[in-house]
A and B are shown apart, each in its own frame.
Chain A
Amino acid sequence: MHTGMKDYPSRSREIIRGDPGVREAVTGATIAFDRKRLQGYAEVDAEAWRRWAEGVKSHTLTHLDDYLAEAEARLEANGAEVHWAADAAEARRIVTGLADRYSVTSVVKGKSMVTEEIDLNPALEAEGIEVYETDLGEYILQLLEEPPSHILGPAIHKSLQQVQELFADRLGLEPDGDPDTLASAARQVLRDAFIRADMGITGGNFLVAETGTVALIENEGNIRLTTSLPRVHVAVVGIEKLIPRMTDLAGFLQLTARAATGQPIGCFVSLVQGPATHPDDDGPEAVHVVLVDNGRTDVLAHEHAWEALRCLRCGACLNACPVYRQTGGHAYGHVYSGPIGSVLDPGLVGLHEAMPLPFASSLCGACEDACPVRIPIPELLLEWRREAQEEGLTPWRERAALKGLAGVATRPGLYRVVGKIGSRLGGTGMARALPMLGEWAADRALPKPSRRTFRELWREGIE
């Protein structure tokens, strides 16, 4: 799904200039998340945990066909039905088909990025089915008709006041409710929705091949209800979510929580591996697992980008990213935003479609240090940049300038002359007239060149 319109530079400018509350809210929340992550990492041997997790995920991805077959066989043995979706359209068809099969009129959903990715809600609503997002942040955004701005905290860009106004307007609350009051009001609405729902739809943090177990991590309890209360549970899971064994899951549950929020483990962990088999059992009558490709096998086949498929969707790279902090996720224009989005989106939707996201990074490397599965994000960004250059997806003036730089920098005599003239002209305000530098100079005082270059000082002798 595309959140639409215009490109990253102008969208980010609009958010920073036009809606400064977003920058404030996102910066505050991400810094708080990031500190909790650092604390959560500090309590364990995070370096060893991250290396282990990287190894398990890389192993799984390089043996994905075997593990997918194993997971499918186990899920079916458990009584769940497995569906394969090659792309978003097929995934939507499968889920709406299931809704039709079970005569579903009302759906509750747990927070899930993959259902955002396949744009599921509009497809269900087009069939006349009511859909409730039950994660508080997602519920807020559903009321606002906005896409999530953050993998973990979808409404991270909203202030308390904005939510107060929204709930006053839509739920008839007093406009000064504290967060607990707001949450209670949402809970009231959602309790009714849970009781009414025929189908619960979730994503899946992990799919354990050995046992056919979909594992879900959360803090609010809404996913537990979504997976256990309605008569049908559909888990929509990206094929990269596989892990081999149950013992691996123990590590990943802890690492994901520490990376995401610094918690030792999520408040709720739901393990779903099939429908209720005995009349006394809790749980749905039917469990369906929709395994979604939607570009993932293309990413897996890519020489470098495949490493991004290790992603646990913890949001740690977003929280650590000083670029993301200025705008939140909407500036990026794709479901997956921030550092991981900028390396994943070009693989999932095509580089041309994802431009200029590989360039929406200062390459500071904070994301790589935060990543629980050690995805070399800056290196992958550079690889996408290289491909963008090779495919001619960058502005011709930029290409010409860099070719010129190489031409000059390999001719020392020419370099000395051009360097001196260039830096002198830059200081005179000429830079403001240049096509690429004009906008840059609007926000900044121009650098003043040294009166004499170092070369000149050296020639004269340095005392």
Chain B
Amino acid sequence: MRVALFVTCLADHYFAEAAADTVRLLRHLGCDVAFPADQTCCGQPAYNAGRHQEARRMARHALDVFGGAPADPTAADAVVVPSGSCATMVKKFYPRLLAGGADTSAPAALADRTFDLAEFIVHRLGVTKLGDGLAGRRVAVHQGCHALRELRLETEPAVLLEGAGAEVVPWEAEEECCGFGGLFSVKMTAVSAAMADRKLDTLPEVDWVVSGDGGCVLHLDGRNRARGTGVEFVHLATALWRGVAGDARVPADVARPAGVR
């Protein structure tokens, strides 16, 4: 299967190794991965702020980059996004944003072909067993709200982590928002930090907190390091690749996303 990677701005700059692990994982699962070089930001910061005109411009750019017609022999079969939130932007918000525009079939077609990483592996590839590289590792899962409530990916990350050998430990605040919310964390800093505290205060004893959303990880880990809570955050792609490859095949300096300690 031909897959185009929509890496997202955060992963490009803060989770480069997790993005590389996404590529490794997809290749391991038999995908032919392309990286369209002209891709930029999905536009969600503008959309969430209410600046729809700017968001629309960015959405159209993404459509130009990823939206090749299905008949186009060079077009990818699927666009995979290692972020539930940015995947939601393409899948749910592009069609809404571009409704009433000249061409509504292109956003709908791109929405259909775009997947969050965990969604792609479980539902498009039909894979849930990845290996046993995470055997003996206790992990808690933080689901980004968009993946959870817009894409309804309620169990997929946990299923994959277990399928990679990890023990997924229940977390009281598992489904609660971490307080990132993009612009929200900048505009409403005190509330946003208090929300992260609630997540950190209820965290069970685990080796890693795993999340498929880089934004949540940067926010939670920023608060984690400021408070000295001392938990290790790992991007889902990195965790899953370790499940496949084990620790040995992953050089020590790339074993965790570089944004995290």
Measuring CB to CB, which residues of chain A are less than 8 angstroms from any residue of chain B?
Answer: 8-9, 12-13, 16-17, 23, 27, 322-323, 325-327, 331, 356, 358-366, 368-369, 382, 384-390, 394, 398-399, 402-403, 405-406, 408-410, 412, 415, 419-420, 422-423, 436-437, 439-440, 442-458, 462-463
Contact = CB atoms under 8 A, between A and B. Distances in A.
A382 to B, nearest CB: 7
A313 B20 CA distance: 48
A454 B11 contact: yes
Interface stretch (B109-117, B122-130, B163-171, B174-182): B174-182
Nearest to A369: B149
A12 B189 CA distance: 9
B21 to A, nearest CB: 9
Nearest to B21: A462
A408 B47 CA distance: 16
By secondary structure, the B interface counts as helix
Interface range for B: 35 or more
A81 to B, nearest CB: 45
Contacts, number: 218
A362 B16 contact: no
A443 B149 contact: no
B13 A419 contact: yes
Interface in B201-246: 218-219, 221-226
Given A362-B145, A365-B149, A9 B187 contact: yes
Contact of B226 (A368, A385, A410, A443): A443
Contacts of A409: 40-41, 43, 57-58, 61
B50 A387 contact: yes
Contacts of A382: 47-48, 50
B191 interface: yes
Contacts of B193: 443-444
A326 B54 contact: no
B181 A450 contact: no
A440 to B, nearest CB: 5
A185 to B, nearest CB: 34
B186 A440 contact: yes
Contact of A9 (B23, B45, B188): B188
B19 interface: yes
A363 B178 CA distance: 11
Interface of B: 7, 9, 11-17, 19-20, 23-24, 35, 37-41, 43, 45-55, 57-58, 61, 145-146, 148-150, 175-177, 179-181, 183-195, 198, 218-219, 221-226, 257-261
Contact of B191 (A327, A363, A390, A412): A327
B187 A356 contact: yes
B145 A365 contact: yes
Nearest to B38: A412
Given A364-B181, A410-B61, A454-B12, A405 B54 contact: yes
Given A406-B54, A450-B259, A363 B46 contact: no
Nearest to A434: B186
B195 A322 contact: yes
Contacts of A410: 40, 57-58, 61
B174 to A, nearest CB: 12
10 contacts: A9-B189, A9-B190, A359-B187, A364-B181, A386-B52, A405-B41, A408-B41, A444-B193, A455-B12, A455-B37
A450 B40 contact: no
B43 A453 contact: no
B113 to A, nearest CB: 21
A326 B195 contact: yes
B192 A362 contact: yes
Contacts of B14: 423, 447-450
Given A365-B150, A385-B49, 7 more contacts: A402-B49, A419-B9, A419-B12, A444-B219, A453-B12, A454-B7, A454-B11
Contact of A412 (B19, B37, B226): B37
A385 B181 CA distance: 14
Nearest to B148: A365
